[in-house]
Structure 1
Amino acid sequence: MTELPPLNSLRAFDAAGRRLSFRSAADELGVTQGAVAQQVRQLEANLDVVLFERVPKGLAFTPVGRSYHNRIAGVFADLRAATAELKPEPNKVLISVTPTFAAKWLIPNLPDFTAAHPDIDLRIMATERVSSFHSDGIDLAVRQGSPPFGASLDVTLMFKQSLIAVAAPKFADKGDIPLDPETLAKQPKVHDTHDHWASYLAHLGAQDQSPRHLRLSQTSLAVDAAIAGQGVALVNRFLVANDLEAGRLVEVGAAWDTGGKDFYVLAPRTTKNNETVVNVVTWLTARSAEDA
């Protein structure tokens, strides 16, 4: 098994690499600038590589130094996160949501949450992957799907999936709003990873005749593309409520309730006794009921 470099040298390298300054790294670690420089020199000697170039205004990575720091910084970040999870923080609630849900619904509603619960530290983990309540340390998750999600979870409906076709206001000039199915079928389309367009048009009794298609990896990007006039996007109504109200988007296609894949807030059954988490769930469901 390869022997690891001294931990203190790795800590000094991590801090110096994040700040590209021995002086700033020393302030963070509570040691002298010379001590940090000495630890980094020892690490370079141990590895037999040069990690930094010393430049007039501080430090610059060598190519091998940058690659090594990317790995080391991630390890130390994981260690800090794991340690933080062990410390009791009774007013902290970590919620896992998709980036689109965070950007288009949760973050715009945070002022309302803060006003209602100023003492709760709500932290948001925005990720497309399915987070683990145990290994990721999350308290709540908002996910789209169909029950059952698991016997160990409490599941509360937030939003039914109701898709609408939306576009920039200039598309309203193409005819009466909403557009008739044939006219809508001829418009340029913006797609996300759910790619509901074929099913939606079939529901309307039309076939796609788009002159062009733009395909994006997230629904929030599809919404932004629609606002920019790149075509018509098919999204859940609650995600674009603010954009519709502000006039950035107009509804150009009839609503379609797909009858599945709705949005739920999930929580371990063990959190029933956690008043802080219960308060967040109550706020989420009450606020979503207003929008629904």
Structure 2
Amino acid sequence: MSDAPGRLPSLNGLKVFEVAARHLNFRLASEELGVTQGAVAQQIRGLEAELGVKLFERLPRMLALTGEGRAYIADVRRALEIIARATDGLKPQPVRLTISTTPSFASKWLIPRLPDFTSRHRDLDLHILATDRMSNFQADGVDLAVRYGRPPFGAGLAVELLFEQETIAVCSPRLMAGGEAPETAEALADYTLLHDAHNFWPEFIERHFGESPQAAFKGISFNQTSHAIEAAIAGQGIVLANSNFVAQDIAEGRLIRIFEAVMPGPSDFYLVWPRYRKSLGLQTVIAWLSDEAKKERERAPS
């Protein structure tokens, strides 16, 4: 038994018929198809001749489908939709990659850089999983993680240093308008200190001023570093933050450094991924993240 389809009418004629049936107007059909109105009418006449039935009633100001036309258009539309879906299925689908990060890293470092990446790599579909919970590569379907810590992170994992934790003190220029940065821990107590979950302020004060903080400090605490940074931008106080997280805000004048001191952190930011997971898409993302971190280091003042 032959699997060949039966006799098919002109596929171009069927396409013109579908558009004309949708508009019930040859002029509008011609505008959608980018051909002349006469060409549309000619295609319809040819299809009607080929089928041996009349598909349209030509009324004074519009068209109307005949009974045969109404019955035929439903099957023609289904057939064209099947062809369209089959054609779309032949196109290469974007490669989906899931990146696990902390919420603060995602909002203050990664997301501002994504437009550049997506414009150059339209074949990659990134999914950002922003959570403070340590994601599982298998259970959560994670391809690449940005982790704050110290290696080793686990057996079978590849690791690459993205950037070091360098903590600096920043605030809105409005907060220091007309004044100088506090030179003692007691003077710092006149300002509101913005804390995140790391609570680096006691260590920073001791390192920078050479004394343990004795004064009573006003403070606001946030569970996310990014929220503390946004509060600083809004002029609500001074925040300690990773220099990489606030570099763009400093460059664009939303924040200023008030001390030259840089405090290294107990941990750094690393790219982590399963050794066995090798793909061109994954290597492209790793190389891009590494390059972005390198460019930021080169832009940083010495």
TM range (shorter): 0.5 to 0.7
User: Is the CA contact 1:168–1:226 (under 8 Å) kept in the aligned structure 2?
Assistant: yes
1:170-228 Cα offsets, whole Å, 9 max, x none, are: 22236445x43443354210000000000011111142635511011100110011111
User: What is the Cα deviation at residue 291 of structure 1?
Assistant: 1.1
Would the alpha carbon gap of residues 259 and 129 (structure 1) be closer, same or farther in structure 2, given more than 3 Å must change? closer
SS in 2 for 1:230: coil
Match of 1:257 among 244, 252, 263: 263
Distance 1:169 1:196 in 2: 22
Distance 1:153 1:138 in 2: 12
Distance 1:170 1:90 in 2: 46
Would the alpha carbon gap of residues 181 and 174 (structure 1) be closer, same or farther in structure 2, given more than 3 Å must change? farther
SS in 2 for 1:101: helix
Match of 1:134 in 2: 138
User: Is the CA contact 1:181–1:201 (under 8 Å) kept in the aligned structure 2?
Assistant: no
Match of 2:246 in 1: 240
Determine whether 1:227 maps to 2:227. no
User: Is the CA contact 2:94–2:123 (under 8 Å) kept in the aligned structure 1?
Assistant: no
User: Is the CA contact 2:189–2:218 (under 8 Å) kept in the aligned structure 1?
Assistant: no
1:139-171 Cα offsets, whole Å, 9 max, x none, are: 000010011112311111111010000111122
Distance 1:101 1:259 in 2: 15
Match of 1:167 in 2: 171
1:259-286 Cα offsets, whole Å, 9 max, x none, are: 5300001000012x31110110010111
Distance 2:288 2:108 in 1: 17
1:208-259 Cα offsets, whole Å, 9 max, x none, are: 6355110111001100111111110000011011111111111112332325
Match of 1:281 in 2: 286
Match of 1:180 in 2: 183
User: Is the CA contact 1:186–1:208 (under 8 Å) kept in the aligned structure 2?
Assistant: no
Match of 1:201 in 2: 205
Residue-pair matches, total: 203
Within a 5 Å distance, the mapping from 1:32-51 to structure 2 comes to none
Distance 1:138 1:218 in 2: 22
Match of 2:100 among 62, 73, 96: 96
Distance 2:216 2:257 in 1: 18
SS in 2 for 1:270: coil
Counterpart AA for 2:245: L
SS in 2 for 1:147: coil
Within a 5 Å distance, the mapping from 1:213-224 to structure 2 comes to 213-224=219-230
Counterpart AA for 1:180: E
Distance 1:277 1:208 in 2: 50
Distance 1:185 1:211 in 2: 5
Distance 1:168 1:198 in 2: 21
Distance 1:164 1:290 in 2: 19
Q: Structure 2 length normalisation: TM-score?
A: 0.63
Would the alpha carbon gap of residues 209 and 254 (structure 1) be closer, same or farther in structure 2, given more than 3 Å must change? farther
Within a 5 Å distance, the mapping from 1:77-156 to structure 2 comes to 91-156=95-160
Pair member with larger Rg: 2
Would the alpha carbon gap of residues 174 and 192 (structure 1) be closer, same or farther in structure 2, given more than 3 Å must change? farther
Distance 1:113 1:101 in 2: 16
Would the alpha carbon gap of residues 258 and 192 (structure 1) be closer, same or farther in structure 2, given more than 3 Å must change? same
Distance 1:117 1:185 in 2: 49
Match of 2:196 among 181, 192, 196: 192
Q: Structure 1 length normalisation: TM-score?
A: 0.65
Distance 1:200 1:257 in 2: 7
SS in 2 for 1:115: helix
Indicate the larger mover: 225-234 or 203-212. 203-212
Runs of 5+ in structure 1 lacking a partner?
A: 1-87
User: Is the CA contact 2:193–2:239 (under 8 Å) kept in the aligned structure 1?
Assistant: yes
User: Is the CA contact 1:162–1:255 (under 8 Å) kept in the aligned structure 2?
Assistant: no
SS in 2 for 1:255: coil
Distance 1:197 1:89 in 2: 48
